[in-house]
A and B are shown apart, each in its own frame.
Chain A
């Protein structure tokens, strides 16, 4: 009897996750102009009012569908370029300069906003609930002070994959070796309530000159927690030849369509004692580049893989099913959240066997490389 296993690609949800989503650095929106942010199957308009508050509304005017992101900030409102209807941050139409009065029901979709760690977060819920401030990501002490380098912030559009692919990384031990060129020596997951955490220690592979996790001279201690469906704080301690740097990496995304999302990441480095700001900025840029390349390594995989609803796992794999069960809570109505989606779950991966095989493979690669180099120089 041969039983061939079939890939179940499933069907992706038609809704977008409930929770806090980061739109970018707050300071980037604070110039008195309207900003367009693609998100949740449409487009949002973001602007700062005279009080300094950041506001986010659906980008399309409820009058005749004008594009508010091409409008103008007038007073505290965003004015539509089509007929100048003025919309307030509370979602209400405040004025129609040519009309005797504003019609009843002149209310558009607003997103509650908050600023955390210098970033603008909006609350999204298809059920329209009030924002839950209890589940905001924590404030990062000392970040945004002169103890840390300012956020180096980057945005990347991802096409052709659902953002769950990005989430799957949380439980994916082995890809750190193959995709990110590092030996994950210790790997643990904890899912609890609205958070999902990955604890990892890794060491770069000496047979690749990989970015991000892959430098042979660096060992990494990483704690990465998702606070809700779309915002991760990754605390990293990078030991580079004995020189330890504390790096904070934010990895967040906004779903834009059923198979597209905008990935954003930001890096802030704790300034090492005794280094001037220029050197610190240089170090921060190197880490930003390196982790940015790390994301690109993932993206290359996502762009070419298929969705799998029924992954087949081996003993060395992390708890993908439990992670997805956790992730599911953000895609169902609050009333349908099941206990197992939020119940605490802990998983430690046994990395011993995997590392034995990997070290042998790397030793072989290095031997091959050395003999190729030897014969090349003998020929010369």
Chain B
């Protein structure tokens, strides 16, 4: 059943643009996780995980065994470091030439 239904085709293009464009694959240097990354600037980062990558990340596996609370949603430091490496290596373009 459809829920929030856009009334124009362009909205679907926007959706694709904002959620899929410019994502570049980055592999974690410490585990098997592969994610897709986009950077609009040095301090902006988007990280798109898949279920497979999510279950490959040992940090998350460990955390999921702990009871819920305020810290369980934080990023994985190893993956973030791997992304920084990839950025330094020039594998992830930095900049929002299309405005977002």
Q: Report A's interface with B, CB cutoff 8 A.
A: 6, 8-13, 15, 137-139, 141, 164, 188, 190, 192, 195, 197, 199, 223, 225, 233, 235, 309-310, 313-315, 317, 319-322, 324-325, 328, 331-333, 336, 339-340, 342-352
The interface residues of chain B lying within 8 Å CB-to-CB of A310 are 6, 8, 10-11, 14
Known: A328-B4, A331-B3. A223 touches B70 (CB 8 A): yes
- Give the interface size class of chain B: 35 or more
Query: Out of A8, A137, A339, A345, which one reaches B7, CB within 8 Å?
Result: A8
B82 on the interface (CB 8 Å rule)?
A: no
User: Are the CB atoms of B67 and A346 closer together than 8 Å?
Assistant: no
A-B contact count (CB 8 A): 124
User: Are the CB atoms of B54 and A15 closer together than 8 Å?
Assistant: no
CA gap between A13 and B3 in the complex, in Å: 4
User: Are the CB atoms of A346 and B70 closer together than 8 Å?
Assistant: no
Query: Out of B11, B18, B40, B43, which one reaches A309, CB within 8 Å?
Result: B11
B58 on the interface (CB 8 Å rule)?
A: no
B19: nearest chain-A partner, CB-CB: A321
Q: Name 15 A/B residue pairs within 8 A (Cβ), A-sorted.
A: A309-B4, A310-B10, A310-B11, A310-B14, A313-B99, A314-B99, A319-B18, A322-B19, A343-B54, A344-B49, A347-B47, A349-B44, A350-B41, A350-B42, A350-B44
CA gap between A328 and B1 in the complex, in Å: 11
B77 on the interface (CB 8 Å rule)?
A: no
Query: Out of A315, A324, A336, which one reaches B99, CB within 8 Å?
Result: A315
Known: A192-B73, A235-B70, A315-B41. A347 touches B7 (CB 8 A): no
B68 on the interface (CB 8 Å rule)?
A: yes
